[in-house]
Amino acid sequence: MTADPRPTALDRAVDAWLTHLDVERGVSANTLAAYRRDLRRWTGFLEAESVRRPEDVTAAHVAEFLSRLREGAPDRPPLAASSAARTLVAVRGLHRFLALEGDLDGDPTRDVAPPRTPDRLPKAISTHEVERLLEAASLGDGPLPLRDRALLELLYGTGARISEASGLDVDDVDTGERVVRLLGKGGKERLVPLGSYAASALEAWLVRGRPETARRGRGTPAVFLGVRGARLSRQSAWAVLRSAAERAGLDGHLSPHTLRHSFATHLLEGGADVRVVQELLGHASVTTTQVYTRVTVQQLREVYAQSHPRAR
């Protein structure tokens, strides 16, 4: 006897919520894919519990699901608290949507607390380490070192997310006015100033490197191109950073987000107002940005502990 291929009420509810996020909220494709994976795991758990309708889901089901995520299974390792909490965000979003739409009388996830996650501060590297990284990106001949330097200068000089940098088109960059237009989460645009180093590196790539690389492709408006002339992928941009970090002798934990963290931290250390940094990063709430102020406070504590005779 084969399984029933028809979608269940839960499947239809998941599709409705994801469509709402895509059409009404403008959520990115990467976020949608992550939510879909998380909810596939959720609906699989419910089907194993013989629950096929959203209205039959209880808080006990949600709590048990979280518990199993943390414990793991023979075919799946246990999830870290942060990953389990992210999965709960997807589950909670689905059931809150159904409750607001009137499809449920209440939200069964409302009273289920997410697992505690470690209180981690964003990792930032020093300005000296940034300089080493950028110099390492310039090593070599041909157009690609020009591209790599321009990419990393942009990431550090604007605080752009890796998806924002790889999604840049030539028309989004004005090296004369020294400004770049970034398309952030939810399709929100923001204008960010370009420092002189980032503007010079971008101009060098656009004038001396990109035309040669573009001839290998079929024509694309993308700023950053791969070796075959197509738009540089997020994975390839990661590889650019990894390669430069290895040549610079920096540890293997650097990510494009490290440069975003460093951008924010160094601005605040230089006296920038947290609300200005919020606008530059494209954060919807200043609360998200305020985590960077804790980085600088932590550095002050370390200096104090090492320097003050009464600190210990």
pLDDT (tens digit, 9 = 90+) per residue, 194-233?
999 999 999 999 999 999 999 998 889 999 999 999 999 9
Q: What is the pLDDT of residue 172?
A: 95
Catalytic (active site) residue 292: yes
Minimal CA–CA distance to 132: which of 40, 210, 247? 247
Catalytic residue of the set 61, 132, 161, 261: 161
62 and 135 fall within a common domain? no
Catalytic residue of the set 61, 132, 147, 283: 283
Catalytic residue of the set 41, 52, 178, 257: 257
177 and 79 fall within a common domain? no
Q: What is the pLDDT of residue 274?
A: 86
Within-domain flag for 150: yes
Decide which of 100, 119, 154 is a domain's last residue. 100
30 and 142 fall within a common domain? no
Q: What confidence tens digit (pLDDT) does each residue in 268-298 have?
A: 888 888 888 898 898 878 877 887 777 776 7
| Residues 81 and 118: beta-carbon distance below 8 Å | yes
Decide which of 50, 65, 100 is a domain's last residue. 100
Q: What is the pLDDT of residue 91?
A: 94
Catalytic residue of the set 61, 210, 261, 292: 292
80 and 224 fall within a common domain? no
Domain that holds residue 224: 127-304
Within-domain flag for 192: yes
User: What tokens does 278 get?
Assistant: 């919020």
CA distance linking residue 267 with residue 277, whole number of Å: 7
296 and 185 fall within a common domain? yes
Catalytic (active site) residue 257: yes
pTM: 0.63
Catalytic residue of the set 61, 147, 260, 261: 260
96 and 146 fall within a common domain? no
Within-domain flag for 111: no
Decide which of 46, 81, 100 is a domain's last residue. 100
Within-domain flag for 161: yes
Q: Which residues of 119-157 are buried (b: 16+ CB within 10 A; e: fewer)?
A: eeeeebbeeebbebbbebbbeeeebbbbbbbbbbbbbbb
Catalytic residue of the set 185, 190, 231, 234: 185
73 and 193 fall within a common domain? no
What's 183's domain CATH number? 1.10.443.10
Within-domain flag for 309: no
How far lies 273's CA from each of 226, 278, 289, in Å?
A: 37, 9, 11
With a cut of 50, which residues of the chain have pLDDT below it?
Answer: 1-3
Catalytic (active site) residue 161: yes
Q: What is the pLDDT of residue 289?
A: 82
Within-domain flag for 115: no
Q: What is the pLDDT of residue 2?
A: 46
164 and 234 fall within a common domain? yes
Catalytic (active site) residue 260: yes
151 and 254 fall within a common domain? yes
What's 45's domain CATH number? 1.10.150.130
Count structural domains, the chain. 2
